[in-house]
Structure 1
Amino acid sequence: MKLINTFAAELPWACEPVAPQPLANARLLHLNRPLLAELGLAGVTDADWLACCGEANPLPGMEPVAQVYAGHQFGGYSPRLGDGRALLLGQQRTPGGGLWDLHLKGAGKTPFSRFGDGRAVLRSSIREYLASEALHALDIPTTRALVLVGSDEPVYRETVETGATVLRTAPSHIRFGQFEYFAWSGQGARIPALIDYLLRHHFPELESGAELFAEVVRRTARLIAKWQAVGFTHGVMNTDNMSILGLTLDYGPYGFIDGYEPDFVCNHTDSGGRYALSQQPAVGYWNLQKLAQALADHVDGEALAAALGQYEHHLMLHYSERMRGKLGLTQWEEDDPSLFRQMFQQLAADRVDYHLFLRRLALLEPSGPWPAPLLALLPDAGSWQGWLTSYRERLAREGEDSGSRRARMNQLNPKYVLRNALAQQVIDAAERGDMAPFERLYAALQHPYAEQSEFEDLATPHPSWYQGEALSCSS
């Protein structure tokens, strides 16, 4: 290991030293061995990971701290949040020279826990572990999961559950909310040092706070465009859950849509639908506005406004490119937005499975009958005749052979998606002590675009037995 602690050493006023607390009868449930090797951590033993992540024995060189931040939660400002149940244990210098946080979630109380117990439960820990690795495999920027530990520790949520920890990693866990905290707590003089830290360690190609903000706008727009294209809903897009690096951060009640529903809400506390699938692009812009306000005393206002003005352009550019690829189109035509809009309207009207529809659309041939697997998804195939005909005509103008197009589409339309129903089956088994379903789903999600005959049962539509689409924030 090559642990260093630049955040704690250079920004001591942005964190508090905290000792982790052990879990009762902690046990190692999973290690992300390929990623551990990539980060230069393959030499750490299983026993050491268990001691570090479950038994409150940090590895040599680790200096655990809890980071402080604020944030706008569901539109209202909370002046002091911070890592209430997570600790930045240290940072690993990788063989390639990169700097990666080792961030332990569920490690116990911190000065920012407020009324919380500082714990995470097995249910939410499994969901974060699987989701972060699933999104990574889908080429969506995200924190990653390294270690999963379970225990017999009782944790009280809606019911009594068992405690767990997830060791997650990313180049940085710095959030919009860190800038908000210092801007609105009378400590605005700290912000230039925070900007300087980011420029030196994470954006060496940039030279100023203005350039940094413009890059954050671009990364946020690209991230949300990818979420939208793959039908991923974050669920709690508060500013304290928004990454400066443009990563998917803090998995709570997230959800991939099953049947297409533009206003899909995955968080049952989001009664107004603030973070619905269709609202994510607008919320991303709103959150960037709050970040700009926090930077206003330190970055030129015209530069902030100019960067914000590019948000919609970046988002629509990346989204349209992604969706054209998912439909097998390589060229732009003026009528494409209408073709997309009609498809989405029909998908929503019939609640057609979004992922399987796009996957099976690749089976379409230049002529002949419509593919039977595609028609099997449509409750009223007749109502789709007009759109399918228009789509086939559009493909003909591309002039590409169907085999090449199908191969490209299958690299953008996943066959294996982390549906909430699949995650719940894994959680139910894990709570009984059976991790085999977890291992199987984890393996399938590593290669979401590949045909994996041994996992065919994991690529089926939303099951009728699963009704729990909206999830709780509690974890």
Structure 2
Amino acid sequence: MIAFDNSFARLPERFYTRLDPTPVATAETIVVNDALATALGLDRDWLNGPQAVQVFAGNAVPDGAEPLAQLYGGHQFGSWSGQLGDGRAILLGEVRAEDGALRDIQLKGAGRTPYSRGGDGRAWLGPVLREYLVSEAMHAMGVPTTRALAAVTTGEQVARETLLPGAILTRVARSHIRVGTFQIHTARQDVEALRTLTDYTIARHWPDADGPAGLLDAVVAAQAELIAQWMGLGFIHGVMNTDNCSLAGETIDYGPCAFLDTYDPQKVFSSIDRMGRYAYANQPGIAIWNLAQLATALIPLMPDEEAAVADFTTRINRFADLYQAAWVRVFGAKLGLADPTLEDADLIQRLLTLMAGEALDFTATFTRLGMGEMPPALSAWAAEWQRRRAGDWTDRMARANPTVIPRNHRVEAVIAAATRGDFAPFHEMLKIATRPFDPLDETRAPYALPPEPTEVVRQTFCGT
């Protein structure tokens, strides 16, 4: 069974609505994450049994759970959307993992809630498999992220552009507290709720933080590290709204996410990002914008609001230096540099400029460099790189550069097969994508190939 804690449910009820998941017709397991279950201290035999399937589908509420949908607000594509909240997700509760920290267990696609805003509260199979694959691959690549504990089919159809098979993802997170969780209480001028939420978030995630200012510092630093890691993998989140910005510093909500194939810093995949707000190169700037919204939300807690605005602005502006240092460290490791410094930024940027100009594949270029293969377009640049690298540079590059990422066309092929009832490609890709740094062999090599012209994915779509 699951030993729940439910600390969020002990907060006042203006933070959430209590309700059970909506049952589904016929639940069948697609996959259970045994390794994550072990890390959470869960009973693996139970998790792979018939009772757990019913829990993952929302047909049964386990003992000790206190299901609820969380309230939050947020800016979406730069515009204030007011009240949002879990429109298709139910937090079952929390468990204390083997590392001593609490982890949320949430069902995504578990039915309508008071925050559904006209939506059906369900998820279709494609986005569930995408989030499972990508979040577990991101974890394997060392990126802070929500994770996937299980995925089940529901035996029901979900209406999108057409009727599609339904599914539910069991998601695990350090918490589901977002920038938007703070914003909604500031918008409602509920300072008491804001203070309670701040104290709770500090106690849960940043116990060394000193009040709202310390919380802001901690989140700024965590986001700087996170976005630098995204950039180092060519990852595009696709929908960096404030309701998708985690106070725990994790990647959350893999809706229209994608990875770069050909390197293009202005690349956008998301079908709903029509103005390119969340393009690859814009992600650091958007992180600053989101953090500014968090700072604004915290201002009412400060005794001197005018002084707090100036102080918080200074704290937000630290992101630039923190991010630049993290970016150089990430890309320096990708180039095998033993002790990358800010002086290496020019070397890194010139490589990226060449990659963009020559339309080189992002992941494959670093893999080839690490194997000693030199794309002709990089030969002049490589002379300086070779002078800068030293020691076991190939080992450093092997540890920093995945040979396989969840390439967009491969993910789409997996989804297409699963929609026809064939889950074998999903399971094969999951095994490969969760060992991203293994050397290429006969089995892995096809997953490292860029798409053929007919396979190129030009748009990705939000599951709602």
**How does the TM-score come out when normalised to structure 1?**
0.93
3-state DSSP of counterpart to 1:249: coil
C-alpha distance 461-468 of structure 1, shift in aligned 2 (>3 A): closer
Cα deviation, residue 445, structure 1: 1.4
- For the Cα contact (< 8 Å) 1:421–1:463, is it kept in 2? no
Cα deviation, residue 323, structure 1: 0.7
Counterpart selection for 2:405 from 413, 417, 426: 417
Greater shift after overlay, 112-121 or 155-164? 155-164
Runs of 5+ in structure 2 lacking a partner? 303-307
Q: CA RMSD in A?
A: 1.5
Q: Counterparts of 1:271-310 in structure 2 under 5 Å?
A: 271-299=274-302, 300-310=308-318
Q: Counterparts of 1:381-460 in structure 2 under 5 Å?
A: 381=376, 383-395=377-389, 398=390, 400=391, 404-453=392-441, 454-460=443-449
1:107-157, CA deviations, whole angstroms, 9 ceiling, x for partnerless residues?
A: 000000011000011000000111110111111110010010113311111
- For the Cα contact (< 8 Å) 1:109–1:117, is it kept in 2? yes
Residue 378 (structure 1) aligns with: none
1:279-299, CA deviations, whole angstroms, 9 ceiling, x for partnerless residues?
A: 000000001111111111114
Greater shift after overlay, 90-99 or 150-159? 90-99
- For the Cα contact (< 8 Å) 1:26–1:55, is it kept in 2? no
Query: Which AA in structure 2 matches 1:390?
Result: E
Residue 149 (structure 1) aligns with: 152
Q: Counterparts of 1:56-455 in structure 2 under 5 Å?
A: 56-299=59-302, 300-332=308-340, 336-364=344-372, 371=373, 374-375=374-375, 381=376, 383-395=377-389, 398=390, 400=391, 404-453=392-441, 454-455=443-444
Greater shift after overlay, 330-339 or 257-266? 330-339
- For the Cα contact (< 8 Å) 2:259–2:407, is it kept in 1? yes
Cα deviation, residue 440, structure 1: 0.9
3-state DSSP of counterpart to 1:440: helix
Q: Counterparts of 1:20-39 in structure 2 under 5 Å?
A: 20-39=21-40
Residue 460 (structure 2) aligns with: 471
C-alpha distance 207-394 of structure 1, shift in aligned 2 (>3 A): closer
C-alpha distance 333-20 of structure 1, shift in aligned 2 (>3 A): closer
3-state DSSP of counterpart to 2:22: coil
- Whole-Å Cα distance in 1 between the matches of residues 272 and 201 of structure 2? 34
- Whole-Å Cα distance in 2 between the matches of residues 86 and 227 of structure 1? 25
3-state DSSP of counterpart to 1:212: helix
Q: Work out the number of aligned pairs and report it.
A: 455
- Whole-Å Cα distance in 2 between the matches of residues 298 and 186 of structure 1? 11
- Whole-Å Cα distance in 1 between the matches of residues 206 and 133 of structure 2? 29
- Whole-Å Cα distance in 2 between the matches of residues 331 and 204 of structure 1? 31
1:403-447, CA deviations, whole angstroms, 9 ceiling, x for partnerless residues?
A: x21111010010010111110111111112111111111111121
Query: Which AA in structure 1 matches 2:215?
Result: L
3-state DSSP of counterpart to 2:455: coil
- Whole-Å Cα distance in 2 between the matches of residues 331 and 183 of structure 1? 43
- Whole-Å Cα distance in 2 between the matches of residues 82 and 288 of structure 1? 19
- For the Cα contact (< 8 Å) 1:79–1:185, is it kept in 2? no
- For the Cα contact (< 8 Å) 2:407–2:447, is it kept in 1? no
Cα deviation, residue 452, structure 1: 4.9
3-state DSSP of counterpart to 1:147: strand
Query: Which AA in structure 2 matches 1:412?
Result: A
- Whole-Å Cα distance in 2 between the matches of residues 56 and 24 of structure 1? 9
- For the Cα contact (< 8 Å) 1:126–1:427, is it kept in 2? yes
C-alpha distance 80-55 of structure 1, shift in aligned 2 (>3 A): closer
- Whole-Å Cα distance in 1 between the matches of residues 287 and 316 of structure 2? 11
- Whole-Å Cα distance in 1 between the matches of residues 329 and 456 of structure 2? 34
Cα deviation, residue 301, structure 1: 3.5
- Whole-Å Cα distance in 2 between the matches of residues 145 and 354 of structure 1? 26
- For the Cα contact (< 8 Å) 2:156–2:165, is it kept in 1? yes
- Whole-Å Cα distance in 1 between the matches of residues 57 and 148 of structure 2? 15
- For the Cα contact (< 8 Å) 1:122–1:431, is it kept in 2? yes
Query: Which AA in structure 1 matches 2:409?
Result: A
Percent identity of paired positions between Structure 1 and Structure 2? 36
Runs of 5+ in structure 1 lacking a partner? 365-370, 376-380
1:143-179, CA deviations, whole angstroms, 9 ceiling, x for partnerless residues?
A: 0100101133111112211111000111211000011
**How does the TM-score come out when normalised to structure 2?**
0.95
1:204-261, CA deviations, whole angstroms, 9 ceiling, x for partnerless residues?
A: 2223121111000000111111111111000000000000011101110001101111
Query: Which AA in structure 2 matches 1:348?
Result: A
C-alpha distance 333-101 of structure 1, shift in aligned 2 (>3 A): closer
Counterpart selection for 1:52 from 33, 52, 55: 55
C-alpha distance 334-314 of structure 1, shift in aligned 2 (>3 A): closer
- For the Cα contact (< 8 Å) 2:406–2:433, is it kept in 1? yes
Residue 305 (structure 2) aligns with: none
Query: Which AA in structure 2 matches 1:457?
Result: P
- Whole-Å Cα distance in 1 between the matches of residues 417 and 340 of structure 2? 47
Query: Which AA in structure 1 matches 2:130?
Result: R
- Whole-Å Cα distance in 2 between the matches of residues 467 and 170 of structure 1? 32
- For the Cα contact (< 8 Å) 2:58–2:107, is it kept in 1? no
C-alpha distance 76-334 of structure 1, shift in aligned 2 (>3 A): closer
Query: Which AA in structure 2 matches 1:436?
Result: A
Cα deviation, residue 390, structure 1: 2.7
1:78-125, CA deviations, whole angstroms, 9 ceiling, x for partnerless residues?
A: 111000000111111224432110011000000000110000110000
